[in-house]
């Protein structure tokens, strides 16, 4: 990438009107803080200033991606790429990640480049942050350099539009490209950049003024409509492998053990359950989003991720419901081959079998949604009641569609209760971190089986079946793993010399 040069003469202080416009875009606190920091920098220091995030107030790569139509295809591509990236734990620098997103999108939309220049020419003059640039010229004339890590074909039209904004001004100012950045970096004392765009070669700069996304440069393209599980991963549980660990490794695996392995067509049943689980959590995410939104409104100390302000605008409950209803269709079609639950209450309706299953599942999702809405609107300690229903629904709710053995039913109940007890402890002042959920699950299942053994019938034939023994073995192995994790805490106490 070559060095790009444009002509301008910035000898005037920012006007009051420009400062007001800048304030509406970035917030007065951020604007004044950055201008004050620049004024306080020694005049002899050399500054390296990002062109995209500071002067243009945007991530130009993401801005370009936002112009590509149809936006739904872009959203599918970019969000799937991000989910794969998270799943493979590929923690790349942000600048490289933006390049990757651009590269993969252009493979499928190669004609998008042609419309970029026309789009840039239509942008207003306040697209550029002249106030910051003029402050740099006033306090560090000839001592600062602009740089950009965006491709040349993206930056060149922006520079042309910038020249048009400053048509009556002259003087040389250059924007350094990505290739010159590593070589030139040792010659500068201070870096001024958008925090989400910091290239790895600038990480060693002695002094940095990072804007903390003050200009909205982290608003990524391809987030609308937000696909299922993206909000959970990026906002609700950004530091957890929630989909793989909790949804697939915990809930779905339990459903497979309980229902698929009790079915005459286990593979078909497992496939149907997977689609039902995906549909269920597509609608369930609405509760997560609502929990964050209402928490910010009504709670004194809401536990909301910092990513909320960047991604919440892209989450649309209607889209979440749309994904849930669509995913439930193939799930219902598969379920007609394996579900032996009687739907006699719908006998009088002229519905095909898959349509009946679909309606029952939609009613189940709607009920869970109402319970979650109740959960989000009551005081924290009172939430333990709807939370019990929510936890039981994640596995026991599928009993409305699939049949299983008696021990399968008991395992669903113990599974839900084992996830509810830690929440009760948490809401009453304790900590649920590291709690042995599987050990609690095995303990509850053992109590239920023991109550059956000593009951009036005392019939454990179902328990001793192959299906029952498999469930017990699984629960016991997971419980032993929990015990192993805190085995050191089970050692004998030693006397302490005081």
Are 391 and 372 in contact by the 8 Å Cβ rule? The answer is no
Pairing of strands 207-210, 172-176: unpaired
At residue 416, the pLDDT reads 95
pLDDT in tens, 146-186: 888 888 899 989 988 887 877 655 455 678 877 777 777 77
Backbone dihedral region for residue 384 (phi beyond 0: left; psi -120 to 50: alpha; all else: beta): alpha
At residue 2, the pLDDT reads 45
Alpha-carbon Rg for the chain, nearest whole angstrom, is: 29
pLDDT in tens, 15-29: 433 433 433 433 445
**Mean pLDDT of all residues in the chain?**
82
pLDDT in tens, 130-149: 888 888 888 888 788 888 88
At residue 27, the pLDDT reads 45
At 379, list the tokens. Answer: 């005081």
- Burial grade of 36 (CB within 10 A; 0-12, 13-18, 19 or more): exposed
At residue 125, the pLDDT reads 81
pLDDT in tens, 321-348: 999 999 999 999 999 988 766 555 555 5
Q: Point out which residues pair with 173 in neighbouring strands.
A: 6
Give the pLDDT band (50/70/90) at residue 373: very high
Separation CA 33–CA 56 (nearest Å): 18
- Residue 204, H or E segment: none
User: Is pLDDT above 60 for 441?
Assistant: yes
Residue 111: how many other CB atoms lie within 10 Å: 8
pLDDT in tens, 378-421: 999 999 999 999 999 999 999 999 999 999 999 999 999 999 99
DSSP for 210-234 reads E-TTTT-TT--SS-SSPPTTHHIII
* Percentage, residues of the chain above pLDDT 70: 84
Separation CA 12–CA 199 (nearest Å): 31
At residue 14, the pLDDT reads 37
Separation CA 333–CA 328 (nearest Å): 9
Note if the pTM is more than 0.75: yes
């Amino acid at each position: 990438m070559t060095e790009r040069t444009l002509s301008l003469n910035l000898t005037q202080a920012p006007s009051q009107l420009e400062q007001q416009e800048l304030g509406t875009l970035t917030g007065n606190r951020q604007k004044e803080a950055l201008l004050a920091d620049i004024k306080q920098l020694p005049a002899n220091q050399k500054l390296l200033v990002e062109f995209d995030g500071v002067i243009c107030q945007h991530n130009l790569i993401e801005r370009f991606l936002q112009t590509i139509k149809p936006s739904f295809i872009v959203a599918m591509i970019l969000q799937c790429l991000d989910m794969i990236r998270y799943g493979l734990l590929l923690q790349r620098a942000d600048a490289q990640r933006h390049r990757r997103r651009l590269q993969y999108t252009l493979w499928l939309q190669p004609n998008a480049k042609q419309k970029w220049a026309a789009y840039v020419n239509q942008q207003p003059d306040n697209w550029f942050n002249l106030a910051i640039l003029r402050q740099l010229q006033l306090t560090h004339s000839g001592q600062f350099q602009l740089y950009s890590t965006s491709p040349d074909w993206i930056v060149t039209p922006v520079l042309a539009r910038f020249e048009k904004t400053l048509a009556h001004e002259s003087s040389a100012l250059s924007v350094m490209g990505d290739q010159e950045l590593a070589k030139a970096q040792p010659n500068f004392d201070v870096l001024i950049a958008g925090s989400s765009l910091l290239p790895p070669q600038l990480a060693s700069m002695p002094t940095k003024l990072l804007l903390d996304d003050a200009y909205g440069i982290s608003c990524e393209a391809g987030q609308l409509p937000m696909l299922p599980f993206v909000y959970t991963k990026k906002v609700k549980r950004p530091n957890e492998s929630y989909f793989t660990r909790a949804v697939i490794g915990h809930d779905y695996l339990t459903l497979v053990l309980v229902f698929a392995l009790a079915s005459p067509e286990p593979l078909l049943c497992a496939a149907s359950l997977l689609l039902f689980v995906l549909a269920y959590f597509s609608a369930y995410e609405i509760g997560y989003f609502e929990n964050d939104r209402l928490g910010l409104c009504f709670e004194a100390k809401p536990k909301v991720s910092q990513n909320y302000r960047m991604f919440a605008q892209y989450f649309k409950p209607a889209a979440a419901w749309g994904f849930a209803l669509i995913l439930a269709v193939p799930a219902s079609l598969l379920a007609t081959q394996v579900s032996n639950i009687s739907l006699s209450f719908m006998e009088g309706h002229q519905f095909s079998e898959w349509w009946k299953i679909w309606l029952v599942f939609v009613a189940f999702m709607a009920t869970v949604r109402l319970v979650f809405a109740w959960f989000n609107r009551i005081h924290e300690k009172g939430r333990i009641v709807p939370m019990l229903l929510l936890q039981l629904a994640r596995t026991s709710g599928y009993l409305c569609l699939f049949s299983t053995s008696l021990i399968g039913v008991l395992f669903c109940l113990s599974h839900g209760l084992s996830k509810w007890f830690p929440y009760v402890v948490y809401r009453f002042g304790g900590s649920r971190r590291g709690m042995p959920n599987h050990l609690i699950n095995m303990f509850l299942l053992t109590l239920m089986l023991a109550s059956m053994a000593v009951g009036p019938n005392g019939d454990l034939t179902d328990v001793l079946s192959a299906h029952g023994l498999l469930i017990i073995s699984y629960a016991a192995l997971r419980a032993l793993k929990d015990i192993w994790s805190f085995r050191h805490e089970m050692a004998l106490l030693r006397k302490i010399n005081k």
